[in-house]
Structure 1
Amino acid sequence: MVSSLDIARSGEELIKICEENSISLSEYAIRREMEDREVSREDLFLKMKKTLDVMRHGATEAREKEVYSVSGLIGGDGYKLQEYLKSGKSLTGDTMILAMAMALSSSEVNASMGRIVACPTAGSCGIIPAVILTAGERLGKSDEDLIKALFASSAIGMIIGRNATFAGAEGGCQAECGSAAAMAAGAVVEMMGGTPKMSLDAGAIVFKNVMGLVCDPVAGLVEVPCAKRNSSGAISALCTADLVMAGVESKIPFDDALSAMYKVGRSLPAALRETALGGVAVTKAGLELRKKVFGDE
């Protein structure tokens, strides 16, 4: 059995524990999970492999065929991006197009009542799979490497969950897609050989870049603009990982950025926290789409 590790209650504590024990974020999460759940490393990896398989399927299904939501508000965009990828005409490059296609695929599978992993929420389910799978493909990583990346993302998620929120209804979309992107960025930094501090710097930068992002789902459904925010979050995570690996540091530590995100989220009016009473949900087009879905006035 592995030696016991202290429970990290902040990003600062997490970095300290990892540095003192010469371990990665993923190893921290693995050891904590083994101890908390009293399971073996092998069983833990087998369970996370099942999670990875569900993520991979969700990130693939709507790229291979057109998948539409039950409401009809979204669908077919993951397939469009995949076809565009084949054209070789991308301005931003194959990596970015692939990540966006994967993120949209998971979002469309979710909205069609398909099977996804809520990571950390169903509304942000496309970001972590898209980022880790895309980075894994481009970096030539094995499934074991991807599983470790998922554990690394969960280490960051533990800190977010303990000190803030993942809920759009409480903190806006910065808490949903923002948290997913922060977790994903940190995981990719570890995949690329970065330190725990560098991973948390990446998370901090993501939070700063989405600070104040509202949650305004059209018709109250997790579809518009949610799916496209998943694609945007995936790109943010990948770009931020490159920023950090180039040596860029966050002047605002992770804990401070997280605290600011939470305070800003709680300060948002109720109309901008998943109630569909503000933002794009109440624009002319947004209201017309609601009427189309529900047939109300």
Structure 2
Amino acid sequence: MRFDTLQKLTQLCREEGKPIHRLMIEEQSQESGRSAESELKKMLAYYRIMKEAVSRGLTQDTLSHSGLTGNDAKRVRNLHDTGLGLLGPVAGRALASALAVSEVNASMGRIVATPTAGSCGVIPGVFVSAQEHFGWTDEWMTHGLFTAAGLGYIIANRSFVSGAEGGCQAEIGSAVAMAAGALTELRGGTPEQSVHAVGLALKNSLGLVCDPVGGLVEVPCIVRNGFGAVSAITASDMALAGVRSVIPSDEVIDAMLEVGSDMSEKYRETARGGLAATPTGKRIMKELFPDSDDPSDPEPDSE
């Protein structure tokens, strides 16, 4: 790739008169040796898997094997369908859809890791709700996935996207930033506005710890996907309104690297701190793994 910073990405877009998704498609095609049409077809297949996960989570039983989570997406959808939700149709649908995909993941269904399995609900939740609202085609949505991929590429290479490395700010935070930037471009925003959406979204996630109860990617992971989807829409609205990230978005990514590197190990997917170390969290761990005296054994699932 010819870019390793968001600043360089926007500079290339400006110089070549291209949106982020077009630049990313060309870069990916050149790197893979496959045609742009082939890359688009592959991404279209990924998007349709995301849509299938949303549908499954909103219509089928998603009780996890642990019994800790499942079927909350349908509850949230029903609240909004009855007109009692306050988020509005797009954000309300995004919330329910993000929960749906995450519950499909927890119940061993098929998802697309974007950028990880633990944060798999944010982008589908945002994209599917926006697609329904605006009437966009699946093919148009693949452009958004390429934009998200370009933004995620920079975040992953400048910082991290793994909870085990940098806490949940790296997983949910990165997914929210990718969704916010991509949604901004899908809605007609400039590359600069998309990059500001990234910074606005990521700043709101700094310091978020990864504290999976029982070592499972369920509590609080699933609800964080729902909150993240709504945050991504909020950041996109702000960026399109002209709100800018006072701290340049590349510097926000660097700050996430600093915070995550300094974060205690017990807050990085070890199930030894935060919610996992509460009395209820410890009780759940004991119920799930009665033969284990060490809260770090068995090893928590990887996100």
- TM-score norm. by structure 2 comes to 0.94
Aligned to 1:95: 90
Q: Where does 1:223-262 land on structure 2 (aligned, <5 Å)?
A: 223-262=218-257
Q: Separation in 2 of the partners of 1:17 and 1:147?
A: 21
Aligned to 2:187: 192
Q: Separation in 2 of the partners of 1:295 and 1:94?
A: 44
Aligned to 1:107: 102
Q: Separation in 1 of the partners of 2:47 and 2:187?
A: 19
Aligned to 2:146: 151
Q: Separation in 2 of the partners of 1:147 and 1:22?
A: 20
1:38 aligns with 2:48: no
Q: Separation in 2 of the partners of 1:136 and 1:243?
A: 19
| Uncovered stretches (5+) of structure 2, i.e. residues with no partner | 294-303
> Following TM superposition, by how much is the alpha carbon of 1:155 offset from its aligned partner in structure 2, in angstroms?
0.8
The one-letter amino acid paired with 1:205 is L
1:279 aligns with 2:303: no
Deviation digits for residues 126-148 of structure 1, max 9, x if unmatched? 00111111112212211111010
Deviation digits for residues 64-89 of structure 1, max 9, x if unmatched? 12311111111010111122222111
| Uncovered stretches (5+) of structure 1, i.e. residues with no partner | 1-5
The one-letter amino acid paired with 1:189 is T
Asked whether the equivalents of residues 149 and 191 of structure 1 are also in contact (C-alpha less than 8 Å), the reply is yes
Q: Where does 1:159-170 land on structure 2 (aligned, <5 Å)?
A: 159-170=154-165
Q: Separation in 2 of the partners of 1:254 and 1:28?
A: 19
Q: 1:12 aligns with which of 1, 7, 10?
A: 7
Aligned to 2:202: 207
1:174 aligns with 2:173: no
Asked whether the equivalents of residues 100 and 231 of structure 1 are also in contact (C-alpha less than 8 Å), the reply is yes
C-alpha RMSD of matched pairs (Å): 1.0
> Following TM superposition, by how much is the alpha carbon of 1:249 offset from its aligned partner in structure 2, in angstroms?
0.8
Deviation digits for residues 44-68 of structure 1, max 9, x if unmatched? 1111111001100111211112311
Deviation digits for residues 137-181 of structure 1, max 9, x if unmatched? 212211111010000101101111111100101110000000000
Q: Separation in 2 of the partners of 1:60 and 1:292?
A: 32
Deviation digits for residues 208-260 of structure 1, max 9, x if unmatched? 11110000000111100000000011010001100111111111111000000
1:267 aligns with 2:262: yes
Aligned to 1:62: 57
> Following TM superposition, by how much is the alpha carbon of 1:295 offset from its aligned partner in structure 2, in angstroms?
2.4
Q: Separation in 1 of the partners of 2:6 and 2:171?
A: 19
Aligned to 2:300: none
Asked whether the equivalents of residues 171 and 265 of structure 1 are also in contact (C-alpha less than 8 Å), the reply is yes
Asked whether the equivalents of residues 63 and 81 of structure 1 are also in contact (C-alpha less than 8 Å), the reply is no
Q: Separation in 2 of the partners of 1:98 and 1:65?
A: 17
User: How many aligned residue pairs are there?
Assistant: 292
Q: Separation in 1 of the partners of 2:76 and 2:6?
A: 36
Q: Where does 1:125-140 land on structure 2 (aligned, <5 Å)?
A: 125-140=120-135
Q: Separation in 1 of the partners of 2:18 and 2:45?
A: 25
Q: Separation in 1 of the partners of 2:72 and 2:274?
A: 23
- Structure 1's consecutive aligned runs of 4 or more residues displaced over 4 angstroms after TM superposition are none
- TM-score norm. by structure 1 comes to 0.96
SS at match of 2:204: helix
Q: Separation in 1 of the partners of 2:233 and 2:196?
A: 13
> Following TM superposition, by how much is the alpha carbon of 1:10 offset from its aligned partner in structure 2, in angstroms?
0.7
SS at match of 1:210: coil
